[in-house]
Amino acid sequence: MYSSTVVRCSTDIWASTVVLYKGRYVAHDGWVFNNLTYLPSDRSAWAGNPLAANGDWVGEDGRRWRTECDTAQTGRGGCRSWAVTKTIETDNGTFTSATDWVINNIVQFSSSTKPAVTSIPAAAPAISGVPVEQPISLSLGDTIVDAALSKVGSSYSYASSGPNSFDCSGLTSWAYRQVGITLPRSSGAQYSAGTRVSKSNLQPGDLVFYYSPISHVGIYIGDGKIVDAANPRTGVRVAGVNSMPFSGAVRVVS
């Protein structure tokens, strides 16, 4: 119950979404909040409540809200409200944030043909075939990224492949070895270790190569960034995918 006379329901939907997991964003299929629906109630129960009056307003949490009432979209007998919310979207492993209006709730008013609901309705019958959300699990590519990121701050040392110091192909070899995959030892040889992919189709875990002839390799981590063992000055670091002259990319795991 929202109040002694207003019943509120929460609706979740099955969707592909973006979640923050172990400190970074990952795509995940599961049940996510869609909206709150206030079942039919008398308008008088909403006196002074901004969820039931046209206009923009600021909530106690400091967020901007917007409510519209009695429009064609609300059925001429209700209101719907949006809140300004930070959203995260993904496209081929790149995550971008935006601030947008997101619908939050629907208020329904009772009428002569739509009586007020003043008690919680009985549960609906169970529906067969409803998906069950599984625990978040990382792909092989994500696991490789996590392994490489765990070495950020480690020192650079030519011809080293861990666990405490690395050169560029030594870091990629070590990270892939954590999931049971053995890569060739040099950056040039690693370029032939998988399927070529374009920069626009990079996914976390892909190998990214630089210079011509190829003399450097890193691992794409998503969001337009790589992790690599660059040189003695920087050691293992996170950098932009365009921070060096791009030569190509290879996907070893799908």
Give every strand in the sheet of 8-21, ordered side by side: 8-21, 24-41, 94-109, 78-91, 64-69, 55-58
How far is Cα 246 from Cα 248, in angstroms, rounded to an integer? 6
Query: Domains along the chain?
Result: 8-109 (no CATH), 140-251 (3.90.1720.10)
Residue 4's pLDDT is 82
Q: Where are the alpha helices (DSSP H) in the chain?
A: 140-149, 168-177, 187-190
Cα angle 248, 178, 173 (rounded to 5 degrees) comes to 40
How far is Cα 145 from Cα 139, in angstroms, rounded to an integer? 10
How far is Cα 183 from Cα 186, in angstroms, rounded to an integer? 9
Q: Where are the alpha helices (DSSP H) in 74-179?
A: 140-149, 168-177
What one-letter code names the amino acid at 133? E
pTM for the whole structure: 0.68
**Average confidence (pLDDT) per 10 residues, the chain, 254 residues:** 86 92 84 95 94 95 95 89 92 82 96 93 90 90 94 96 96 97 96 95 95 97 93 96 97 92
DSSP-derived pairing of the beta strands 64-69 and 236-240:
unpaired
How far is Cα 66 from Cα 84, in angstroms, rounded to an integer? 9
CA atoms within 13 A on the CB side of 84: 10
How far is Cα 42 from Cα 68, in angstroms, rounded to an integer? 17
Residues pairing with 32 in the sheet: 13
Identify whether the C-beta of residue 241 lies closer than 8 Å to the C-beta of residue 226. Answer: yes
Identify whether the C-beta of residue 190 lies closer than 8 Å to the C-beta of residue 183. Answer: yes
Nearest to 214 by CA among 174, 250, 171, 254: 250
